[in-house]
């Protein structure tokens, strides 16, 4: 049995959180078999094409082959999202969507979502031995200083991580959203400093992260071993191809780091590439200390 399977769900609630965010709660008996892994757990969602119902959505262990066999113009689109919350007792998942217009199938679906609408969640199977790779968050065991930086697409993931931090974690969390009204009500544990930036006020993640890293990581400690080229396309590590931007140290790599600094940076690929260039190229930061994650790319749809 594969480690990830399709779970058939339906929308049970839709709650507008702010001008940019909508929370869509989905539920279904199938979620009795879903494994919630917490933190920034990512899942794939498959959306019915407009006017189509659950019958067109893939099911079963061989769903990949059957879904790929459908001609692309009739194939229900697949996109990556975050489990904002999972309530196994209620067989419910909260999914927080950025509304960015109706050009993208996911944003369009979320804009129009109504109770009863069908959706397929591709996620991990409870009780399966794995291995699973759906959680990128992997700080050192004794992380002394944590930095999380995210734009709106990664706000659900950063929020879920923040809510799971303990009072012993000294974390700085910077979240960039389109406008001040998008600041969400988050439960922040003691020891966590949360800063919201609003693009409409000219506030941007890149410069703030540079300043924070300069304060948090002294230059000597930042200079680590050179990073090996690990990019699939052959792009140099200093100038990675933005499509490749998913560089996430595993917990085996981060666990033994003596200084315990760990940064988790996620958002629009171009912005994350800029941060990577500064942290790795200019400051020589140890690649085991930072997870760089392009969550979306301006002007380009996610590959289906």
Ligand X SMILES: Cc1cc2nc3c(=O)[nH]c(=O)nc-3n(C[C@H](O)[C@H](O)[C@H](O)COP(=O)(O)OP(=O)(O)OC[C@H]3O[C@@H](n4cnc5c(N)ncnc54)[C@H](O)[C@@H]3O)c2cc1C
Backbone torsions φ then ψ of 255, nearest 5 degrees: -60, -35
| Span 105-144, contacts to ligand X by CB under 6 A | 105-107
Instruction: Indicate the DSSP class of residue 118.
Output: E
Taking the least distance from each CB to ligand X, the nearer of 82 and 257 is: 82
| Span 157-186, contacts to ligand X by CB under 6 A | 157
Query: In what side-by-side order are the strands of the sheet with 246-247?
Result: 192-198, 170-177, 145-151, 261-268, 290-296, 246-247
Q: Is 285 in the site for ligand X (CB under 6 A)?
A: no
Q: Is 48 in the site for ligand X (CB under 6 A)?
A: no
Distance from chain centroid for Cα 287: 19
Backbone torsions φ then ψ of 72, nearest 5 degrees: -55, -35
Considering only the stretches 24-32, 80-88, 229-237, 280-288, report the one whose residues sit in contact with ligand X under the rule CB under 6 A.
80-88
Q: Is 34 in the site for ligand X (CB under 6 A)?
A: no
Angle 29-35-137 from CA coordinates, rounded to 5°: 145
Give min distance, CB of 300 to ligand X, in A: 5
Q: Is 72 in the site for ligand X (CB under 6 A)?
A: no
Considering only the stretches 25-33, 104-112, 193-201, 216-224, report the one whose residues sit in contact with ligand X under the rule CB under 6 A.
104-112
What is the pattern of x (binds ligand X, CB under 6 A) and - over residues 243-282? ----------------------------------------
Number of residues counted as binding ligand X (CB under 6 A): 25
Give min distance, CB of 285 to ligand X, in A: 22
Tokens of 158: 């950063």
Q: Is 301 in the site for ligand X (CB under 6 A)?
A: yes
Q: Is 153 in the site for ligand X (CB under 6 A)?
A: yes
Taking the least distance from each CB to ligand X, the nearer of 41 and 254 is: 41
How far is 237 from 265, CA to CA, in rounded Å?
Answer: 17
Taking the least distance from each CB to ligand X, the nearer of 28 and 105 is: 105
Listed in sequence order, the residues at least 6 apart from 71 whose beta carbon sits closer than 8 Å to its beta carbon are none
How far is 253 from 247, CA to CA, in rounded Å?
Answer: 12
Give min distance, CB of 43 to ligand X, in A: 8
Q: What Rg value do the Cα atoms of the chain yield, rounded?
A: 19
Considering only the stretches 102-110, 191-199, 206-214, 276-284, report the one whose residues sit in contact with ligand X under the rule CB under 6 A.
102-110
Q: Is 82 in the site for ligand X (CB under 6 A)?
A: yes
Cis peptide before 131 (omega within 30 of 0): yes
> 75, 100, 227, 277: which one contacts ligand X (CB under 6 A)?
100
Taking the least distance from each CB to ligand X, the nearer of 114 and 298 is: 298
Q: Is 103 in the site for ligand X (CB under 6 A)?
A: yes
The closest of 84, 261, 66, 283 to 186, measured between CA atoms, is 84
Longest dimension (CA), the chain: 58
Q: Is 97 in the site for ligand X (CB under 6 A)?
A: yes
Taking the least distance from each CB to ligand X, the nearer of 79 and 287 is: 79
Beta carbons of 77 and 304 less than 8 angstroms apart: yes
Beta carbons of 151 and 180 less than 8 angstroms apart: no
* Helix, coil or strand: residue 256: coil
Binding site for ligand X (CB under 6 A): 42, 79-82, 96-98, 100, 103-107, 153, 156-157, 295-302
């Amino acid at each position: 049995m594969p480690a990830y399977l399709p779970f058939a769900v339906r929308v049970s609630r839709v709650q507008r959180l702010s001008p940019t965010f909508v929370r869509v709660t989905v539920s279904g008996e199938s979620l009795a078999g879903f494994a919630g892994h917490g933190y920034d757990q990512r899942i794939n969602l498959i959306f019915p094409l407009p006017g189509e119902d659950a019958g067109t959505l893939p099911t079963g262990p061989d769903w990949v082959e059957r879904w790929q066999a459908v001609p692309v113009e009739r194939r229900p689109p697949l996109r990556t999202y975050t489990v904002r919350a999972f309530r196994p007792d209620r067989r419910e998942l909260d999914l927080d969507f950025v509304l960015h217009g109706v050009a993208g199938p996911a944003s369009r679906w979320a804009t129009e979502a109504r109770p009863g609408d069908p959706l397929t969640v591709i996620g991990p199977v409870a009780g399966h031995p794995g291995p699973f790779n759906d959680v990128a968050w992997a700080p050192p065991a004794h992380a002394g200083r944590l930095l999380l930086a995210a734009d709106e697409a990664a706000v659900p993931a950063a929020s879920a991580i923040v809510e799971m931090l303990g009072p012993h974690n000294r974390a700085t969390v910077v979240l960039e959203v389109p406008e001040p009204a998008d600041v969400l009500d988050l439960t922040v544990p003691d020891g966590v400093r949360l800063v919201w930036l609003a693009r409409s006020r000219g506030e941007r993640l890149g410069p703030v992260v540079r300043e924070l890293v300069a304060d948090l990581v002294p230059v000597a400690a930042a200079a680590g071993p050179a990073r090996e080229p690990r990019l699939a396309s052959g792009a140099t590590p200093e100038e990675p191809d933005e499509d490749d931007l998913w560089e996430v140290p595993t917990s085996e790599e981060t666990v033994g780091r003596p200084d315990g600094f760990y940064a988790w940076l996620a958002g629009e690929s171009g912005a994350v590439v800029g941060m990577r260039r500064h942290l790795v190229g200019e400051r020589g930061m140890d690649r085991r200390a930072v997870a760089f994650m392009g969550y979306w790319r301006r002007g380009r749809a996610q590959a289906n």
